[in-house]
Amino acid sequence: MSAVPAGDPSGHTHDRAREPGGEQSHEQGHEQGPALAGLRERKKQRTRIALIDAALDLFLAKGYEATTIDEIVAAVEVSQRTFFRYFGTKEDVVTNFLTEHDQVLEEALTARPAGERPFTALFESLRVVLRTIAESDPADGARFRRVRQVIEATPSLMAAQMARYSASAEALAAEIARREGVDMEADLRPRIVVSFYLAAVKVAFEDCARHDIWDAGTVAARVEEAVALVARTMRDWV
């Protein structure tokens, strides 16, 4: 039996891995992989934002409680299955927009240098979040405003918002306690320093709302200014 591959009259074997065509195809595959992945991520983000925007439109027009998930997905022309890829519940459409910033803050705090003073670590971590806000989609300012309107008009969402604040405060206090090597159950200082920090953030956001300021960059600057005032206020007024 001949050892020559069928269809090769020359009797020479071919190393297909070295063929120019095969090599080019391999390289193209590597180039297209990240491009396709990036395209998929952008499409997913567009779908997620479309669901948020449609939900907020409906919540403000009909009320949160009266709006169904069926109505939200119909407005975007996707299935419920698609909705649940992005959100676990209807409530998540509203709260996830805010909890993303909580996660960024917690991760930034964990990454701060060891030995940094607790309030400084919180302040510098906040700056990471504020940069994220300032560099975000300009439309996020309008979304944040509408999210706040929906929450304030819905008692169940107000309760969820309070629970979110509490969970975030506990996570931050636990990280401060870990960094300082103290037992949070026996030492109140981690919760106290986090409470000062969160109070300043809350005051700044409420001040922006009162003055109808929703531009992400301006909000970020106001929040940073308010947190910076904490140390001075404690020094001068306490």
CATH assignment of the domain containing 57: 1.10.10.60
Whether 100 and 162 share a structural domain: yes
* Residue 17 in domain: no
CATH of the domain at 189: 1.10.357.10
For the chain, how long is the longest CA-to-CA vector? 99
Same domain? For 157 and 77 the reply is no
Angle between helices 189-210 and 216-237 (to 10 degrees): 130
Tokens of 48: 């997620």
Residue 8 falls inside a structural domain: no
pLDDT at 57: 97
Q: Are residues 79 and 98 in the same domain?
A: no
Same domain? For 72 and 118 the reply is no
Q: Which amino acid is it at 158?
A: M
Residue with tokens 């929040």: 223
pLDDT on residue 184: 95
Our count of domains for the chain comes to 2
**pLDDT tens per residue across all 238 residues of the chain:** 444 444 444 444 444 444 444 455 555 555 566 777 777 788 888 999 999 999 999 999 999 999 999 999 999 999 999 999 999 999 999 988 788 888 999 999 999 999 999 999 999 998 898 888 778 777 887 888 899 899 999 999 999 989 988 999 999 999 999 999 999 999 999 999 999 999 999 899 889 888 988 777 788 889 889 998 998 898 899 8
Instruction: Look at residues 88, 123, 149 and tell me which one is the last residue of a structural domain.
Output: 88
Query: Helix, strand or coil for residue 19?
Result: coil
Residue 29 lies in a domain: no
H helices present in the chain, as ranges: 20-62, 69-76, 80-86, 90-110, 118-134, 139-152, 155-180, 189-210, 216-237
Q: Are residues 82 and 133 in the same domain?
A: no
One domain, residues 50 and 62:
yes
The whole-number pLDDT of residue 235 equals 87
Domain-located, residue 7: no
Same domain for 166 and 196: yes
| Token code pair at residue 124 | 């510098």
Residue 18 lies in a domain: no
Asked, for residue 31, whether it belongs to a domain, the answer is: no
> Are residues 107 and 148 located together in one domain of the fold?
yes
Quickly list DSSP for 206-220.
HHHHHTT---HHHHH
Q: Kindly state whether residues 143 and 197 are assigned to the same domain.
A: yes
Q: Which of 156, 158, 150, 155 is nearest to 59 (CA)?
A: 150
Q: Are residues 44 and 110 in the same domain?
A: no
Do 55 and 72 lie in one domain? The reply is yes
Q: Is residue 115 part of a domain?
A: yes
CB 51 within 8 A of CB 93: yes
Q: Assess contact for 179 and 197: CB atoms under 8 A.
A: no
Claim to verify: residue 71 and residue 104 sit in the same structural domain: no
Q: Is 82 in a helix, a strand, or coil?
A: helix
Residue 77's domain spans which residues? 40-88
Tell me how far apart the alpha carbons of residues 197 and 220 are, in angstroms, rounded to a whole number: 15
Tokens representing residue 83 in the block: 């909705």
Q: Please say which residue of 62, 88, 114 terminates a domain.
A: 88
Cβ(233)–Cβ(200) under 8 Å? Answer: no
Domain assignment present for residue 214? The answer is: yes
